[in-house]
Chains A and B, each alone.
Chain A
C-alpha cells in the first residue's frame, strides 16, 4: 500500500507492507541514523520523534505514521551538533550506535520537560540503553548542553 510519510519536513511517497515497521521504512528511505537494536521496544536504539513524542520505530507501524511529523537525528542539524559536542566532551561518544536515538530522546525530553533535574533526566532516558558508558557521562553532557547551549552559559 502507498502512504505518504513526512520525515524531517520532507514528504516521501512510499509503498509499504501492511505490517511493516517504521524502522524498516525509514532505513529504506535512507535515514540510516535509525538503528535496529533489540527489535522488542526495550533498548531505545531505534527511537524517533513522532508528533513530538519519543517512540520505538521498531514497533511502530509505518501506516500509522501517515499524517504525522517524524523527526530523526538528520532533521535536528545544529541542535544535534551541539548535543553531540557535549556528549563527546564527556566521553560518552564511544561506539556511537546509540547516539542518534539518544540525541532525539534528549530533544524530546527538553521539549517536554523545560528544566529537568538529574532524577528526571535519569527517569526519562531509562529506556535508552548504552552499552559503552555508565550513564553518568550522559547526565554531565546533558547538564552541560542545558547550561551552555540552552541557557546561554548560565
Chain B
C-alpha cells in the first residue's frame, strides 16, 4: 500500500501542490492573528479566538483537499489514465484506497500542524491582551479540539470525494466542503467539547461510509 501511495505522489507531481498548500499557513496567520479573523475589537476569550482559527483552518484545508481529490482522482478519469491504472495487477479498490489514504493523511496532518502553528502564534501575540489566562487545561482542550476538527475535516473531504465521484466534476468536489464548513461554522466550531466529539465522529463515519459506497462496485464497473 505504501508503494502505491508513493506512486500516487510521484505520478501526480504533488510536490508543488503541497508546497503551495503550506503557503496557506502564513496567510492564515495574518488573517487569524494579525487581522483577528475580521474582528476589529479582538477577543475577550481564547475559546472564541480558537473557534475562529479552527473554522478558517478546517475550511481552508477541506477546500485544498478537494483540489487534491480533483488532481489525484478526477484528473485520472478526465485524462482517461484511469484505464491504464486499472490494467495494473492490483485491485481497483486498493488503488483508490491508496489515493484516499494519501489525501486523508495530508489533510489530517496539515490541519493539525496549521492549527498548532497559528494557535501558538496567536497565544504568544495576545498573551497580555486577552482577559483570560492561558492555562494547561485550556491547552489540553484545544489540543483535543484540534484533533477532532482534523478528523472532521478528513470526513468532510471524503464526503466531497463521494459527491465529486458521482458527477466526476471538479466544482461538485470543491463546493461541498466550502458549504459544509460555512453552514456549520457557528454551532460546530464554537460548540461544546461533547458536541464536537459527536459531530466529528459523525463526519468521519459518514465520510468513510460514502467513500466505501463509491468504491464498492468499482472492481466490476466498466471503464470507458
A and B together in one complex: no
Residues of A within 8 A of B (CB): none
